[in-house]
Structure 1
Amino acid sequence: MSTADLTVLTLGSPEDPSPLRECFDAGLDPAQIVAVIGKTGGTGLGDDPVRAATVTMIERTIADAAGREMPEIAYVLSGGSPGLITPHIAVITRDREATSGGLAVGTARSGAISPGDLGRQGHIDAVIAAVGQAQRDADLMDPRRIHAVMVKSPSLTTESVAELDRRGLSPISRDLGLGPAGAMCFINDAAALGVAAALGEIDRSAASASNVHNEFDLFSEVAMTSAGGERTDIEVIVLGNASDHGGALRIGHSCTRDPLDLGAVERARVSAGADIDDSIRYAMGKMTLPRTRTVRGNPIGWHDEAEAALIAKAMGGALLAATTGDTRVFLSGGEHVSQQGPADGNPVAVVFSTAHPASTRRRPPAR
């Protein structure tokens, strides 16, 4: 059993390493970093240069601090921070000597995946295998202890589609966006079905290519998936609780029931086994367009908006910020319907700082 910690840092520009450097100066050990998640500026599409630049800056800053002790780190950064979302990162460390029983983390990385497999069976199977590897890394083999699975897949780009054409192969979609037939919708839903199958949320036989972005009654309650053109492999981060009680941090999850559901964070608190006095350290969620064109009986025009994906991220960010009191939230989304959560809702996961942890460890102050 090991113990994870999480430190949230506000980002300035994609090239500014000072928040991370100050964190290291305050005592965070770069050798203990296992994962970095967060939000960047930019478009959030597959060829987002801001997200790619931010990942490069983080990698170089950690490498400079760690030297020869450079750890292997999983990165799940989501581009696009519209509305109330503040660009930031959540740095997750792991102490294998601590045994407080709280937040646990595991990571895994697949081999390179062909652009022609994205959104198809090979993609699903690669995610299933990577989730199992991350579970073993976290020692979270009981799926009931898992409250969030972050997946970053490669996305299709104009270059990779052209290469497929030269080889006489076809992509899952030539629409590289997040619209109803967008490639990113198929890619993210293939990853979600892989998570659902790995954790037993759906039967393995249901995790088939024919069901991707199609059978919306098949979904995962804990998968938060996204894609980026800077990747050639699949990155998985599993977050859960090492035991039923204890720990300075605990995580829980829920699903929103519709885009107006303000109760998901409190249901996540119950799921975590957290007390009412426990404060929120970090919140993560998805916001995709609902299957129906009504919300609580009233018609909406969201699906017809030219910037529907951007609106989704801004709405989801505002929902999480309003219920947590912090604009540094991980909110990915914009897909036209998704298999990340039920058809009219989406997953939410929250890390809580416990009021009376079984053990405490000092951590550097968050910016």
Structure 2
Amino acid sequence: MNLTEIFCQDRAVDSLQRAFAAGKVPHALIFAGPPGVGKFTAAKCWAELLLCASPIKKDNAFIHCGKCPSCMAFESGSHPDFHHIYKELLRFSRDTENRKRTPIDLPIDVVREFVLEKVSIKPNLSASKVFVISESERLNTASQNALLKVLEEPPGRSFIILLCTKLDNLLPTTKSRCQIIQFGSLSDEKIIAHLVAGGINREQAKFWAGFTEGSIGQAELFSQLEPSFYDIKKQAVRRFADLKITDAVDFAQWISSTASGLTESLEKLRPDTSKSDINRQTKKAFVQIFVSVLSDAMRAGLADNGKIVHFDQADCVGKLAQRYDCRRCADLIEACFETGRFIDASVNEKLLFEHLLLSLTNSGTIRA
């Protein structure tokens, strides 16, 4: 794949193409946008173009040649001057104590060992070096401060690309040293067409487009999970619509055991992601189900004719709209977001879901 083939991110690609054509390529970039909209794919294509020995111009756009030693090495996944930086690299640290840790943020040890130590070393194959830092919103303050000098003046012809889903998590000093390229959410129609072309039936494709809020990567991922996450979400929504206080503990246990099965499936699809992160992602997917169906119930209560995510379970949405007024829906959505924050903090998820479900039966709310 080359840069011109990035799906539905024309504005971002045009910005990069103009910079390359003018010979004014920024040494530090932030690719900002929601998860699953093509930031990492674009970063890889951009890196391959920057590392290529003989870029070519085709249809008024620059692409890598695909034939030089640099391109051959890149395509084989073994280019010595391309460095993908992610928090799980900690398990490959020289420090044995670091290898025992399970990182939640992107620690300074990873930044020092895999960026700062390597950025000043002469390139091996190409004239440049490229560092792509995933989940840069997880860079803690110490990690960001350590990066400031190389972001402002990268040694030699080094390029650094930060992939970020939450710009507010980056320090002003970090953002001021980078050019920000915005990546947007995709339209439902684009995602539906893409999923249907990949063999997903239209009803499911329509649901995933709404549920993931324009994230084609997330929509693809959820649609590939086994057992079927679509069937699981339908069961979860149905149980929620019929939820009684006496069912809360059993429902919480079902969520925990079902999420464990999804975790195993997700591990196969994302082998480079830590198990702790995958556990959090699957648990937060259930929280997202509750948030989306409560949002639908709120719209129904307001007689809002806007998009309903759970259009395929309109009867369940109707039950929830009758049970909760709009203010109560808003309170419960906030409780769900609070649960998501607790999951990120690695609080016991079974207890969290018990508390959340008790809250959803009008018997109290989660407090920080």
Report the TM range for the smaller structure's normalisation. under 0.3
- The TM-score normalised by the length of structure 1 is 0.28
More strand by share: 1
Structure scoring higher RCO (CA < 8 A, sep ≥ 6) equals 1
Larger Rg: 2
- The TM-score normalised by the length of structure 2 is 0.28
More helix by share: 2
